[in-house]
């Protein structure tokens, strides 16, 4: 992943695309910070870092919109699009529901007490292809039926 980021960074610098250059540099810095925690960084850790970056930008967009700073909100949206390019294709809500139902059937979950168990399995299974917040929402809906 780092190699891909480096090559994209060089390309962005050649094209004098300051937004893309800055965003990719932030992504590389976040990965470097994660590496310095001591344990090896696996692919799922990279996706967690990138999802965290997306979540921060979503929160910033909400705040900027409330403050009527649409210019800054647009910048955050553009950064989100750049970050999404480095994530695998996201699953649709229906695909996630299908996986959730399969895991619930496997585990034999019947109520909200089993949510942690279901989430643990789904999180490992769908790392990088679905955000935790979407997973959580769908698992709650399926378990409450």
Confidence of residue 133 (pLDDT cuts 50, 70, 90): confident
CB 80 within 8 A of CB 54: yes
3-state secondary structure of 129: coil
Delimiting residues of CATH 1.10.1510.10 domain(s) in the chain: 2-84
Encoded tokens for 127: 């790392």
End-to-end CA distance of the chain: 40
Fold classification of 2-84 is Hypothetical Protein Yqey; Chain: A; domain1 (1.10.1510)
pLDDT of residue 130 exceeding 90, the answer is: no
For residue 138, the Cα-to-chain-centroid distance in whole angstroms is: 16
Q: Which two tokens stand for residue 90?
A: 């996201």
How would CATH label the architecture of 93-143? Answer: Orthogonal Bundle (1.10)
Domain with CATH 1.10.10.410 in the chain: 93-143
Cα dihedral across residues 139, 140, 143, 145: positive or negative: negative
103, 125 Cβ separation under 8 angstroms: yes
pLDDT in tens, 67-124: 999 999 999 999 999 999 998 888 899 999 999 999 999 988 888 888 899 999 998 8
- The DSSP code sequence of 63-98 is HHHHTT-HHHHHHHHHHHHHHHTTSPPPPPHHHHHH
The model's pLDDT over 11-65, given as tens digits with 9 standing for 90+, comes to 999 999 999 999 999 999 999 999 998 888 888 888 889 989 999 999 999 999 9
pTM for this one? 0.76
Give the pLDDT band of residue 4 (cuts 50, 70, 90).
Answer: very high
Dump pLDDT digits (tens) for 51-83: 899 999 999 999 999 999 999 999 999 999 999
C-alpha 125/C-alpha 21 separation (Å) is 32
Angle (CA) 84 87 9, round 5°? 70
């Amino acid at each position: 992943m780092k190699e891909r980021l480096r090559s994209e960074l060089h390309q962005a610098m050649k094209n004098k695309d300051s937004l893309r250059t800055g965003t990719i540099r932030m992504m590389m810095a976040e990965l470097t910070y994660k590496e310095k925690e001591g344990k090896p960084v696996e692919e799922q850790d990279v996706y967690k870092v990138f999802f965290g970056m997306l979540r921060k930008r979503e929160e910033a967009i909400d705040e900027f919109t409330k403050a009527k700073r649409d210019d800054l909100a647009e910048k955050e949206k553009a950064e989100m699009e750049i970050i999404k390019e480095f994530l695998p294709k996201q699953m649709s809500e229906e695909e996630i529901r299908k996986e959730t139902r399969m895991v619930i059937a496997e585990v034999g979950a019947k109520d909200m007490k089993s949510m942690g168990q279901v989430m643990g399995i789904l999180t490992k299974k769908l790392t990088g292809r679905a955000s935790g917040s979407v997973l959580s929402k769908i698992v709650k809906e399926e378990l409450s039926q």
